[in-house]
Amino acid sequence: MAELETIRGPRWKLEDIDFDSIDATSIRNDEFLFYLLVSASIIEILSDKYSANLVEHFSGNEEVTSWLRDSWQIEEVQHGRTLRTYVQKVWPDFDWQAAHDGFWSEYGPLCQSEQLEPHRGLEMVARCVVETGTSTFYRALFSYVQEPVLRQILTNIRTDEASHYSHFRRYFQSYNATEKHGFFAVIGAILRRMKEIQGEDGYIAFKHVYALLNPGKPFDEGEWVRYNKAVKQHARIHYPYEMAVKMLVKPIPMRESLRRWLELPLLGLAKLSAMT
């Protein structure tokens, strides 16, 4: 495998965050932010459960599996724990645990090893897609919020996510030295994973948060539509489209000149999708 910087355990700790300094009054009435933070916290905190299939998929490669267990998984769970603590400080009356349990009861059965790419190298490409999504999400959220403690948390998280992306991409390069996946195989893996992660976990999380905020009321699909419309509206201002495109195309085996040529139309398509 290619030589990688290996840091065992998280770069920062939950105890480093001064939750008592949160300016809760500045954000308590922001329902949009509330949904984002609760959804992110209940998804991320379950990373140890998601990762079991991934660790098994790379069994026999101790360098990869030890990094997944000792760094990636621990940091992802810490992201969820930190966001959970923040939510509970700002919105103490919300039953976070009930939202968490409801989400996992529905989403857990969907986490199957069959979702993974059969080739290890292509699964590393797929992980790059996931990390692109999280890195750009937290960067956009950082741009949106002004509350200082939350901005510190988001800085910590997005730094972790960018590091995870770099590890997965370099692991892909190492695997691909022998697996020899070309342009179309890598593009296919990117598109398959983008299709799989297109809001499924976010939708389920939203449903369970909505149910707790509206006890006894049937779920209204229109609320999900309105929420997504708000996401797109804010994305036009805060989402780092150029960063997302560069991260997605970086693993694709091609000449650098062709990569730069490809980025421009993809950037236009990404921005156009946010308008519709």
pLDDT in tens, 64-75: 999 999 999 999
What's the pLDDT score for residue 115? 76
Residues with pLDDT less than 50, the chain: 1-5, 7
Which CATH architecture group holds 25-275? Orthogonal Bundle (1.10)
Q: Residues 16, 20, 25, CA angle at the centre, nearest 5°?
A: 130
**pTM as predicted:** 0.90
Q: Where are the domains of the chain?
A: 25-275
How does pLDDT run across 184-243, given as a tens digit for each residue?
A: 999 999 988 888 776 688 899 999 999 999 998 999 999 999 999 999 999 999 999 999
Which amino acid, residue 86?
Y
Q: Residue 156: its pLDDT value, please? A: 96
